[in-house]
Amino acid sequence: MSNLELVELEEILVKPAVHVRVVGCLIEHENKILLCKRNIQPSYGRTLPAGFMEMGESAADGAIRETQEEACAEVEVLSPFAHLDIPLIGQTYIIFLAKLKKPHFSPGPESIECRLFALDEIPFDSLAFSSMLVTLKLYAEDMKGGKPKFHYGTISKRPGTSPSDINAFTLEYHMQS
């Protein structure tokens, strides 16, 4: 193999071939939002029930599965709410609005707590990820207007900041309908 062929092969093997899709549910119950406190890395903060989509499942099915795994909750997906791209880390978040089928939830193995928060009680400073901060702020803003919209945007992390700094970003290409 030539040096050029070795470099091309190394790029194929080292660079991720696809974006990772993270799917989850924004669950409203009695005018409160269900948040889980994470029990695993990369962050121990609060988050919506969400996780990596698996091969062979739709985004909605993955969001339902992740909600069951993280919050032991059965949900009905109502509609898509947000599609957020984070190019720097190769992730796409697809968050659905959902409702509890039964008013029961509890921490799964990846959570140490699951709790309902009123919109004005959401602990924005202790959220695990910037994607959750964006999602929840967009939802709170929508609800001030009376109803949720669908949102698309790109989260661009600020150069030189820590990936765990949930406030070190800009939301670009924000579109809503």
What's the mean pLDDT in 58-65?
Answer: 98
Architecture of domain 18-176: Alpha-Beta Complex (3.90)
3-state secondary structure of 1: coil
State the Cα–Cα distance between residues 127 and 109, nearest whole angstrom.
19
pLDDT at 66 over 90: yes
3-state secondary structure of 53: coil
155's enclosing H/E stretch is strand 151-157
Question: In which band, very low, low, confident or very high, does the pLDDT at 38 lie, cut at 50, 70 and 90?
Answer: very high
Q: Note the pLDDT tens digit of each residue in 4-34.
A: 444 444 444 455 555 689 999 999 999 999 9
pLDDT at 6: 40
User: Where along the chain do its domains lie?
Assistant: 18-176
pTM of the model: 0.88
